[in-house]
Structure 1
Amino acid sequence: MESNQIVLHNIKKLTGEEVDLVIKEGKIADVTEPGSGEGAVINCTGMFVSSGWIDLHVHAFPEFNPYGDEIDEIGVKQGVTTIVDAGSTGANRMGELSANSRRAKTNVFAFLNISKIGLERVDELSNLEWIDRQAIHDAVRLNEDIVIGLKARISQSVVKENGVEPLLIARELSDETSKPLMVHIGSGPPHIEEVIPLLQTNDVITHYLNGKENNLFDKEGRPLSVLMDAISRGVHLDVGHGTASFSFKVAEAAKANNVHFDTISTDMYKGNRLNGPVYSMANLLTKFLSIGYSLEEVINGVTVNAANWLGKPELGRIRVGEPANLTLFSLKDQEVKLVDSLGDERISKTTINAEGVFVHGEYIKC
């Protein structure tokens, strides 16, 4: 017996096939018939395995209030092996977020807020002097291991009287740095039809299922033409549930009109983790099961699709010889009440539960 091997015994692939997954020195050594793997056994009967869940929109800088949390609280403890901080920090403090990430068990990437103050204030784009172009270029260069894009929150409470001007500047900075944009949409002005045409291939619309008046669907639930045009250009649709940005009714209308998510993300921070309506990544994934998406579609939204957007497809696959980056989860036949950002409720008879992760050579139980 290989004493330095770990066997995830009798674990299910998404297809339902049961296997033994053998891990040696932090890498996947074999995928074999149940009972044939050799090593220290972790009994995973009844559990599923996927590549490690990726949350494309969180807030992981605990110094900022209200939008902040500890990295591992919204990472590995949620069954999430990789998080992407969505603009918590600007150029002033991106170096601190990068340093924090090196002490965490969770993999961390980040969108750089185009405002140098980040979420130190929640109207960070109300003063255009806080967009320091040279500081942005320097922060991207100095933190190239973590910065994967730029973030602009384009809603009235953030931009105040500046309208769409911060997004026009963000567009220029995106082109200059070769970094895609993640754009938060919310209450107007600026109107959604001013915002979406400025987005290009590989840019991200986050909060695309929000139930605010200034959203991407008409009163009958049909997608606006600016949304369909954006999809045809290759703009990426991200959920970004958050405290105020996910509506069951909008999500159901989107599905009925074949406007499907690319990635499922939580927009999690301490407040909406402890007090809802987000609670956990597993709770959010259960919401999409309740809407009628298949398990494979839901899990792809936090694995393959997210990994491909990041340009790191290896994070979205399970392959012999590669590092074991895994999430273990279960499906339970139990009724659960689910609540969206508007207080609307749905009942699901199936619940997804995160059970553990394997990352950086370590198994961590959730």
Structure 2
Amino acid sequence: MADATRYDLVLKGGRVICPASGVDGVRDVAVKAGKIAAVEEAILPSAAAEVVNVSGRLVLPGLIDTHGHVYQYVTGRFGLDPDMVGVRSGVTTVIDQGGPSCMTLPGFRKFIAEPSETNVLAFLSAYLVGGLEGHFYPNLYSPDCVDIEATVRSATANRDLVRGIKGHAEIGGFARWGIKVMEMAAEIARRAEVPLYVHFGQLWGLPESGKNGEDADTILERVIPLLKEGDVLAHPFTRHPGGFVNREGELHHVIQAALDRGLKVDVGHGSHFSYRLAKQALAAGVIPHTLGADMHGYNTQVPEIPVPLGTPEEHEDDENHPFKGQARFSLTQAMSSMMTLGIPLEEVVKMVTSHPAKMLQMEDTLGSLAVGRTADVSVLDDVRGRFVLRDNEDYRVIAERLLQPAFCLRAGKRIDADSPILPQAIAA
């Protein structure tokens, strides 16, 4: 009798894809006490207290979103509810990119990471102010607003939460201060022995190329020598100046050499994504290593997020802000984008499971359905048909497969994908 219910839950009959353990096929997945207890071709239904039929669905290690903005309220309109971006969107781990700083990390831990059902981690901002609304107040991101010693201490003392450092290599900052801030960010990451995640592509606007002799197309070649193996180049498919594709429409000549010496590429989808430029970069051989959705309150329509108190009136008009983009979005929609661009599903799954786990130096705890691991599992529908996807230039492509989250298990607990920001399928 005791053997009859030796599992709490069995997910039955789904296509299990787990690159970390080399599994790809129809399997049953059993969970016991919040851990993966078995992955087998067939598990008797009588062996579990609950059986969920997931035939026809994808069963993946819990998805990892490498680029989130979830420091709600503290980062103004940028910060979304972490569970709305995370478990309620079928994503079990979300990495906040640059929201908290060494000054604000205690609040991030207490009010975001600890109470969230989602597993929330952070890439600590190189700047003392963290991810405040820098497009309004760019002087907060000058070299005078970086404290190398304090940030290294914070990252080192909070390694359970801080898995990297976030910096920005963009023309607005370079035209104001040159490369100094990036040099400081690279030193922080080196001394803390964590990856540096670098934003490329214009972010804070004016001054643009030409100011103080700066040229957006030279930023990559000046920043990449500062970086170490495992550091991350973000937004390869950006439509903004300073990205992987230069103003002549060619892939920057330093990219391949950077990849050859162990630098990684993260999509950072969000407002900086262009299908047009993605096609060019992919054709030139740039295959992203990881995939972050990069959703925030400016590019994701969330009715309950008001314009923050204290925001200057001239910035209240959403039509004029620099991040205008998707109305509703999700990590699974970003996965669908990658597949539509010709990247096979099996490779896309690596971008949101085993690859980010390695980037985080957490491959022993995340990104796998190996027996004994925490039962973080994402269950997706793989919908076939013809669907319209669009980017922030309103360039449209036709997708024949659309991945949509059904539910996830976070440490064995089922949470349905009911987030209000999940996009609706648009038939072609």
Q: 1:280 to 1:130 in 2, by over 3 A?
A: same
Aligned to 1:246: 273
Structure 2 residue runs without a partner (length 5+): 18-22, 203-208, 303-324, 418-428
Aligned to 2:16: 13
Matched letter for residue 132 of structure 2: E
1:324 counterpart = 2:375? yes
**How far 1:300 moved relative to its partner?**
1.0
Aligned to 2:282: 255
Q: 1:58 to 1:159 in 2, by over 3 A?
A: farther
Cα deviation per residue 1:96-149 (whole Å; 9 max; x = unaligned)? 112220111111211111111012240265432211223213322332211111
Contact 1:88 1:113 in 2 (8 A): yes
Residues in 1 aligned to 2:173 and 2:405: alpha-carbon distance in whole angstroms: 34
Residues in 2 aligned to 1:20 and 1:45: alpha-carbon distance in whole angstroms: 10
Aligned to 1:76: 87
Contact 1:207 1:239 in 2 (8 A): yes
Which of 297, 311, 325 matches 2:347? Answer: 297
Aligned to 1:280: 330
Equivalent residue of 1:228, what SS? helix
Aligned to 1:217: 245
**How far 1:223 moved relative to its partner?**
2.4
Worse-matched range after superposition: 230-239 or 213-222: 213-222
Aligned to 2:321: none
Aligned to 2:311: none
**How far 1:159 moved relative to its partner?**
5.4
Worse-matched range after superposition: 111-120 or 9-18: 9-18
Residues in 2 aligned to 1:359 and 1:292: alpha-carbon distance in whole angstroms: 30
**How far 1:160 moved relative to its partner?**
5.3
1:139 counterpart = 2:154? yes
Cα deviation per residue 1:42-70 (whole Å; 9 max; x = unaligned)? 11122111111111111110112232111
Contact 1:79 1:355 in 2 (8 A): yes
Worse-matched range after superposition: 304-313 or 148-157: 148-157
1:116-265 to 2 correspondences below 5 Å: 116-122=128-134, 123=138, 126-158=141-173, 161-187=176-202, 189=214, 191-192=218-219, 193-218=221-246, 221-243=249-271, 245-265=272-292
Contact 2:65 2:292 in 1 (8 A): yes
Residues in 1 aligned to 2:174 and 2:119: alpha-carbon distance in whole angstroms: 31
Equivalent residue of 1:172, what SS? helix
Matched letter for residue 79 of structure 1: G
**How far 1:253 moved relative to its partner?**
1.6
Residues in 2 aligned to 1:201 and 1:88: alpha-carbon distance in whole angstroms: 24
**How far 1:214 moved relative to its partner?**
2.2
Residues in 1 aligned to 2:183 and 2:348: alpha-carbon distance in whole angstroms: 34
Cα deviation per residue 1:78-107 (whole Å; 9 max; x = unaligned)? 211111111012111111112220111111
Q: 1:127 to 1:259 in 2, by over 3 A?
A: closer
Matched letter for residue 353 of structure 1: Q
Matched letter for residue 94 of structure 1: L
Equivalent residue of 2:233, what SS? strand
Residues in 1 aligned to 2:39 and 2:290: alpha-carbon distance in whole angstroms: 27
**How far 1:3 moved relative to its partner?**
6.7
**How far 1:208 moved relative to its partner?**
1.4
Structure 1 residue runs without a partner (length 5+): none
User: What is the number of equivalent residue pairs in this alignment?
Assistant: 365
Identity fraction in percent: 28
Worse-matched range after superposition: 209-218 or 188-197: 188-197
Aligned to 1:52: 62
